[in-house]
Amino acid sequence: MSDDYSDNGTSRSWLERVGQFFTSTPGSRDELLDLMRSMRDSDIIDGDTLGIIEGAICVSEMQVREILIPRSQMVSIRASDDPRDFLPTIIDCAHSRFPVLGDDPDEIIGILLAKDLLALILEPARMERFVIKDHVRSAMVVPESKRLDSLLREFRITKNHMAIVVNEYGGVAGLVTIEDVLEQIVGEIEDEHDVDDDDYLIKDLEGDDFTVKAITPIDEFNEHFKTQYRDDEFDTIGGLVMQAFGHLPQREESVDMGNLRFTVLSADGRTIRLLRVAPLDASGDTDTTDG
């Protein structure tokens, strides 16, 4: 056995070291997470691996409504639009897929792929003959209540990358992409178009609730929620919330700051990822933590 696998002078393989943690089978998800954290603390797995495991477990408990891009922030196309009208928008936002809706904004026609419009750019004369319904792909439609692990499985089976989300009345609530789901497992996935993509840091949910990415700058959070949190020590709302907890919180833990309650929706072994923000109820309940 190589000395690279020795532990305090004894020749034990990495597999044997892992095996010692499984002498008893975890009886719950919390026990499994405690086991994984013990393995991290013993340097059997690293923090990144633990973060992915914790993210995967969170995905099995989260619903689409918690991460969807709300309807008000969707970049969509009307089936009756002229290509000359929507092409500038498509070029400007640089997305690869666009929901196509009917004259009724709750009528889902399908999904239009940006690559299918390249011919119009190369040969503008084709715009006169372009009929958008001849180019749309069928849309995957899912309810707000769908669990993320189930959605990810459906994405994989159907080879779709985007789904239109509908509410309980059948109206369009927003959209969700496979990238949105994967980010809950592996963390933020940035590309060359994400630098200015700040519109999605704060999402309006039903009622007075919002989902807020932990990377949201404090000044932007203050502007949106009319708060006055200081940014001299932390740049992001996640750092401020972490300080309020005094420890790395787990999913569903809550803390109150001022007149707002922050509930952790997603976190890994290193940091908070996603928060639910809601005003404190009229009862004045001000527990500093919950969970």
Q: Is the pLDDT of residue 88 over 70?
A: yes
- What whole-number distance in Å separates Cα of residue 152 and Cα of residue 17? 32
Residues of the chain with CATH 3.10.580.10: 66-181
Are 51 and 270 contacting, i.e. CB atoms less than 8 angstroms apart? Answer: yes
DSSP lists the bridge partners of residue 110 as 100
- What whole-number distance in Å separates Cα of residue 169 and Cα of residue 30? 35
Q: CB neighbours of 159 closer than 8 A, spacing ≥ 6? A: none
Average pLDDT over residues 199-223: 85
Residues of the chain with CATH 3.30.465.10: 201-279
Q: What is the pTM of this model?
A: 0.60
Q: What's the Rg (C-alpha) of the chain?
A: 23
Is residue 195 very low, low, confident or very high in pLDDT (cuts 50, 70, 90)? Answer: very low
- According to CATH, the topology of domain 201-279 is 3.30.465
**139-183: per-residue pLDDT in tens?**
999 999 999 999 999 999 999 999 999 998 889 999 999 988 988
- Angle at alpha carbon of residue 153, lines to 67 and 188, rounded to 5°: 40
In CATH, what number does 66-181 get? Answer: 3.10.580.10
* Per-residue pLDDT, 256: 95
Average pLDDT over residues 22-36: 67
